[in-house]
Amino acid sequence: MAGQQRVLLGVTGGIAAYKSAELVRELTARGCEVQVVMTRGAREFIGAATLQALSGRPVREALWDAAAEAAMSHIELARWGDCVLVAPATAQCLARLAHGLADDLLSTLCLATDAPVYLAPAMNRLMWSHPATRANCEVLASRGVTLLGPGTGAQACGETGPGRMLEPQALVAAMLDDAAGAGALVGRSVLITAGPTREPIDPVRYLTNRSSGKMGFALAAAARRAGARVVLVTGPVALAQPPGVERVDVETAAELHAAVHARVRDCDIFIGAAAVADYRPRDYVGEKIKKRDATLTLTLDRSPDVLASVAALESRPYTVGFAAETCEVEQHARDKLVRKQLDMIVANQVGPGRAFDTEDNELLVLWPGDGRQTFARASKRELAEALIALIASRSGCAAATVAS
Ligand code: PMT
């Protein structure tokens, strides 16, 4: 989305509403026309006069405002916006939108528009992680609504955790980049690895890990939704193939290496989300090993490092790795970023019930030059959407980018 766009800015009743004034300034500074729509709750936190002065337009508040409706009906208003941004979006707002309520002006507009809808959640950390809010976010994301944030940090209630609204500058940049990325990867080709590998010991035994493939599959689906041609090279998983994605099934690290290198020269972006076995048994025993001795020693050899080998290609794609760490996540991930000469690394803290084979996750993304962004706990689908938007914008692959 270039400048000169019409943004319907919904403001709901949370303490972060005080940032709405800055948000209006940021949007107008980037050439957007802004029409503010406040809920009743928002009025408790910020005055309409401030937002009216900054946006240069009367703030709309009520569905049943005869004078405002006569000037522009709510349906016309819904058509007016090129996009809708609700910031802050409270837990109450997410719940109402997830249920399709249309009992105030803002919820009616969100229902009556076919423009992209962006929500910037802001709430207490426990409200954010409550299963009801998680379910509402899933429903909204599955309907194509984009959730921007929240960030993690100190909260107005005195607690610390996920639930802070993103800062206005970051929010506007993310929205404009994402809007530019509606189809940002059209004409681009993305190669993604997913799942575990299996390294055979004998005909019935193998070495593997706990990866389910969910993260890699979510990334493949998100890249496809962004318009890319997607090839997904996957180890053994029990997941349905994402629509429109070419899938290549492999078993071992060596097979994964071969499958990637047969296709990598055609791709613009490579994302290594697979949990590739670092070691494999030196000798494959052709018959089932009998339990004769009290102990059994296996000699393991290093597997090929697929990610590092892609990054080392002379003409290489934008190369994104993952890092699964049990401790000192940021330091280990940054080491991998540098050592493997990656363009970006996505770090996750792993351990019992964390990252591997879970429905949701939280991520730390790093790139050279001290680049850093955190993604608060969310479903892998939501995280994949956000990651693909970030990768599209940072790789320069987005069809049309807006300077941030
Ligand atoms: O599959 P899920 O259940 O959804 O879980 C997601 C995940 C935790 C598996 C995923 O998000 C993740 O972190 N994947 C990388 C796991 C891993 O192997 O991390 P690592 O730190 O050991 O490897 C670093 C990077 O090198 C990874 O991009 C990996 O794909 C790559 N690698 C590692 C070894 C190897 N021989 N070849 C590689 O390409």
Q: What is the residue-level pLDDT of the chain in tens, covering all 404 positions?
A: 444 589 999 999 999 999 999 999 999 999 999 999 999 999 999 999 999 999 999 999 998 888 888 888 999 999 999 899 999 999 999 999 999 999 999 999 999 998 889 999 999 999 999 999 999 998 898 787 888 888 877 888 888 888 999 899 888 877 886 666 557 887 899 999 999 999 999 999 999 999 999 999 999 999 988 888 899 999 999 988 777 788 999 999 999 999 999 999 989 999 999 999 999 999 999 999 999 999 999 999 999 999 999 999 999 999 999 999 999 999 999 999 999 999 999 999 999 999 999 999 999 999 999 999 999 999 998 999 999 999 998 998 875 433 22
pLDDT of residue 1: 45
Tell whether 159 and 199 lie within a shared domain: no
Is residue 401 assigned to a domain? no
Residue 186 carries which side chain, given as an amino acid letter? Answer: V
Provide the domain count of the chain.
2
What is the rounded distance in angstroms from the CA atom of residue 324 to the CA atom of residue 329? 8
Tell whether 138 and 246 lie within a shared domain: no
| Positive/negative CA dihedral, 151, 146, 191, 359 | positive
Our answer on whether the CB atom of 362 is closer than 6 Å to any ligand 1 atom is no
CB 281 within 8 A of CB 206: no
Residues noted as catalytic: 157
Conformation bin of residue 227: beta by default, left when phi > 0, alpha when psi is -120 to 50: left
pLDDT of residue 333: 98
pLDDT of residue 400: 44
Cα(211) to centroid(ligand 1), Å: 8
Our answer on whether the CB atom of 342 is closer than 6 Å to any ligand 1 atom is no
Q: Which of 180, 200, 219 is the last residue of a domain?
A: 180
Cα(373) to centroid(ligand 1), Å: 19
Cα(152) to centroid(ligand 1), Å: 24
Cα(346) to centroid(ligand 1), Å: 10
Tell whether 176 and 48 lie within a shared domain: yes
| Entry field: residues in the chain | 404
Is residue 371 assigned to a domain? yes
Cα(264) to centroid(ligand 1), Å: 18
Our answer on whether the CB atom of 278 is closer than 6 Å to any ligand 1 atom is yes
Tell whether 197 and 175 lie within a shared domain: no
> Which of 192, 207, 209, 211 should be mutated for ligand 1, with most atoms under 8 A from CB?
211
pLDDT of residue 191: 98
Residue nearest atom 36 of ligand 1, based on CA coordinates: 305
Tell whether 272 and 369 lie within a shared domain: yes
pLDDT of residue 178: 66
Our answer on whether the CB atom of 273 is closer than 6 Å to any ligand 1 atom is yes
- DSSP class of residue 321? E
What is the rounded distance in angstroms from the CA atom of residue 320 to the CA atom of residue 367? 9
Q: Which of 180, 204, 233 is the last residue of a domain?
A: 180
> Which of 250, 303, 307 should be mutated for ligand 1, with most atoms under 8 A from CB?
307
- DSSP class of residue 15? G
Our answer on whether the CB atom of 220 is closer than 6 Å to any ligand 1 atom is no
pLDDT of residue 205: 98
Range of the domain at 390: 189-394
Q: Is the pTM of this model over 0.75?
A: no
